[in-house]
Structure 1
Amino acid sequence: MEQKLAPSPKLTLAESLPLVIILGVVTAFDAMAIDMYLPAFGDIGRSLNTDAGTLQTSLSVFLIGLAVGQFFYGPLTDRFGRRAPLVAGIVLFIAASVLIAVAQDMTTFMIGRVLQGLGGAAGLVIPRAIVADLYEPRESAKVFSMLMQVMMVAPIAAPPIGGLLLGAFGWRSIFWVLAGIGVLAVFATMRVVPEPLPPAARSKSGIISALMASTRVLRLGRFSAFALSGAFTLAGMFVYIGSSAFIFVDYFGLTPTVYSFIFAAIAIGEILFGYVNIRLLNRWRERQILPIGLAIHAGFVALLVAALLAGFDSLIIVVLLLFLSLVSLSLIFGNVTALVMESAPGNSGSASSLYGVLQYVFAGAVGGLLGLVHNGTLIPPAAVMLVCAIGAMIAWWIAERSSPTTPASTRSTAELS
């Protein structure tokens, strides 16, 4: 396979939009694989003779594959470059989607979902490493914000697309379309995505040694603290996502259609505020914007908790404060991701991998905590969101007071990995 070397000097967002769009689509594989098949649960259950509980497990095994895959892709990209593992992950995603599309029993379906998660994990880990390699920190914050906007489109567009495919061609067509998107992504990746890590800069150690040594990136104090800040923030968003159906359908008694409109409106707000963050980065650094975003987010979540404790739990107040709390996340995600990647120079693949695993571990742990404290009111999800917001601020505070990675420690870490 002929390798295209990364251009020099570093890229800017404006001159590399096709690259960013392709990376955004690949990053959204996991969201598409989750949201597009949700409308087909009933038909899949009848076709494969299974119940709703087992189908819910198919979502869990996909997330397991996604979490496990993220741990491996980072060290692999530091050893073999970025583009080849990315293409391999997409090919695995394609093969898994085809396997699911032709499945005649639930065992085959589940195996396909695990493999689909393992393949889709490449789209979460490797684009972050590519961006860190190709862009300066401020430009990378813009790109990470743009990638987040593409990811936010998937939860809005995927369910109705899945519903249309289900009605017109049946549930198997959903996975054939996912496979088709993967095929297009492979061709686009081969044509547009450069190889930013030349052979001379790659790790020379064996795969097992690279996997073990990659965990030493966690010893970089600033990396770990910024990664914790990002993990707390994403966990808070997952609290909202996991509780949204309860909040709007069960608690307020809205129809699923109205709920979907509110969910989409908040997602659109996050997309629009992502572009605000990109514009702000033309004037300020990501390190200056991040604490403002964290403070705004924590402030609105605190107002939501205070309003609920005071008995002000009308639909208008809750929707307004949730909207303001969630759109402010667009001032956080791109900037904290850029700072995470900047904090582990020379180890972009391993850093991206560990950051992704940490995010999903935190999201899962917080989801479990939310289940334990659920009491039928809105206070538990709002309180858990506030805990996550405060945790993100504390982790940022620690990161800013940690010593930057010195050249010597950077070299030793790179040599170990």
Structure 2
Amino acid sequence: MTRSPLFQLVFSIVVMVSVGQMAQTMFVPGMADMATQLKAEPGQLQAIMACYLIPYGLFQFIYGPLSDRFGRKPPLLAGLALFCLGALLATQASSLTQLLTATFIQGMGTAAAGALCRSIPRDYFEGQPLIQANAIISMAVMFAPLVAPLIGGLLAQHFGWQSVYWGLLVMGATALGVITLRYQESLPIEKRKPQPVLAAYRHVLSNRQFVCYMVCLVATLGGVIAFEAVAGILYGDLLGFSPIWVSILFILPIPGSLAGSYFASQCRSRRRLSAIAIATLGSGALLILVPALFDLLLAWTLVIGSILVFFSAGALFPTFTSKAVEPFPHHAGVAGALLGGAQNLGAGMITLVMSAIPLFGQGSIGALLLVTALMVSFALKFAGQEEATEDMSNSTI
């Protein structure tokens, strides 16, 4: 590809995926006002993120196979249109139930971008170029939900919480226009796969390395999303920061995320990258967990710990995503759907569970992040054993 088409491709992917990512957290600074107006408990509002992430995960399993059969662009346009409908309904919500329903529709729509942002790069790249392309996309995936609360905080403070969803509607319509006008179909008819859906999923899931990397990604995203879900409560309700300060504290992990993605794009040793990322994830988890063991709630440990966690996530997402989809040039839609669907469904379930149990300060999220680091470490070790076995088999042949 020439530089101009490559730029247009990455720009289109970043635009479409950023809108969906921003919807995860843009409402966070307005949660207190939402709880008051909708007559709900603050803790119940964690269900908003769950009702967004669960359909975001589930419907990726539909969009992925559809894109392998009919091309990438039609599902993208349909999904973004559905997202805009959900945002419009949210602006008119007068109860928590109505808001959760509108949020569910948003998740159904943006699932198209969530699945295909992993599939489209595989239509063009493999190897290190694929990691570099995914690193750029990963920056948007990590950056958008962190900067979104700053925008949401300004809107909520000056225009009310409904303005957050008006903002998302404008962003969704903009993304819909960009994809319509700028994105050129990346999967021509001759490369499309008319294989039955279940057979395609069996083919991808039969690859044990894929499953291992998928587990790593699910665990990592689950930890990140869980932190995002409780950070607003920790900073706002328990530490007493204003909505603007909550927004500022929310975006402080951005440098860590960007640094992790840049590190992934430059590091040639995947083993070294994985070791550093896992060690950083574990360190961040301990920094958040240890003060809670002494019944302390410290903002600086939350901030620094989150920076370390987001550095790790920024490094792991593009690396493991590329490693997982690379073996499937003809099933990239299904592979991308499995990765995105499992990640967001898992993260949504974790958030839903956390919304139903008491919050024990920063100890709850610290313990969860530590479990995440252990899960990634064990899954990656198993993936390495599978790679070594495969290499031995190939050399014997």
TM-score of the superposed pair, with normalisation by structure 2: 0.82
CA contact (8 A) 1:295 1:393 kept: no
Q: 1:164 to 1:311 in 2, by over 3 A?
A: closer
CA contact (8 A) 2:213 2:380 kept: yes
CA contact (8 A) 1:145 1:334 kept: yes
Higher alpha-carbon deviation: 175-184 or 379-388: 175-184
CA RMSD of aligned residues (A): 3.6
CA contact (8 A) 1:89 1:123 kept: yes
Q: Does residue 1:357 correspond to 2:345, yes or no?
A: no
Output one character per residue of 1:328-367: Cα deviation in whole Å (capped at 9) or x when no partner.
Answer: 3222121111112124442111111111222123324444
Find the partner of 1:297 among 252, 260, 281: 281
CA contact (8 A) 1:141 1:286 kept: no
Q: Secondary structure at the match of 2:87?
A: helix
Q: 1:285 to 1:341 in 2, by over 3 A?
A: farther
Letter in structure 2 aligned against 1:90: L
CA distance in structure 1 between the partners assigned to 2:10 and 2:291 by the alignment: 40
Q: Does residue 1:126 correspond to 2:110, yes or no?
A: no
CA contact (8 A) 1:73 1:353 kept: yes
List alignment gaps of at least 5 residues for structure 2: 391-397
Return the offset for 1:55.
6.2
Residues paired across the two proteins, number = 388
Q: 1:347 to 1:174 in 2, by over 3 A?
A: same
Q: Does residue 1:135 correspond to 2:125, yes or no?
A: yes
Find the partner of 1:400 among 384, 391, 394: 384
Return the offset for 1:182.
2.6
Output one character per residue of 1:208-254: Cα deviation in whole Å (capped at 9) or x when no partner.
Answer: x3156424422210100111111111122223223324544566555
Letter in structure 2 aligned against 1:352: G
The percentage of aligned residue pairs carrying the same residue is 27
Q: Does residue 1:30 correspond to 2:17, yes or no?
A: no
Bigger Rg, structure 1 or 2: 1
Higher alpha-carbon deviation: 217-226 or 176-185: 176-185
Aligned partner of 1:388 in structure 2 is 372
Aligned partner of 1:51 in structure 2 is 39
Letter in structure 1 aligned against 2:212: A
Aligned partner of 1:85 in structure 2 is 75
Aligned partner of 1:238 in structure 2 is 225
List alignment gaps of at least 5 residues for structure 1: 1-6, 407-417
Higher alpha-carbon deviation: 290-299 or 305-314: 305-314
Q: Does residue 1:326 correspond to 2:326, yes or no?
A: no
TM-score of the superposed pair, with normalisation by structure 1: 0.78
Q: 1:15 to 1:382 in 2, by over 3 A?
A: same
Q: Does residue 1:198 correspond to 2:188, yes or no?
A: yes
Return the offset for 1:124.
0.6
Aligned partner of 1:224 in structure 2 is 211
Q: Does residue 1:336 correspond to 2:314, yes or no?
A: no
Return the offset for 1:175.
3.6
Aligned partner of 1:117 in structure 2 is 107
Return the offset for 1:271.
2.3
CA distance in structure 2 between the partners assigned to 1:276 and 1:186 by the alignment: 31
Q: Secondary structure at the match of 1:402?
A: helix
Letter in structure 2 aligned against 1:269: G
Letter in structure 1 aligned against 2:345: V
Aligned partner of 1:95 in structure 2 is 85
Return the offset for 1:129.
0.2
CA contact (8 A) 1:286 1:339 kept: no
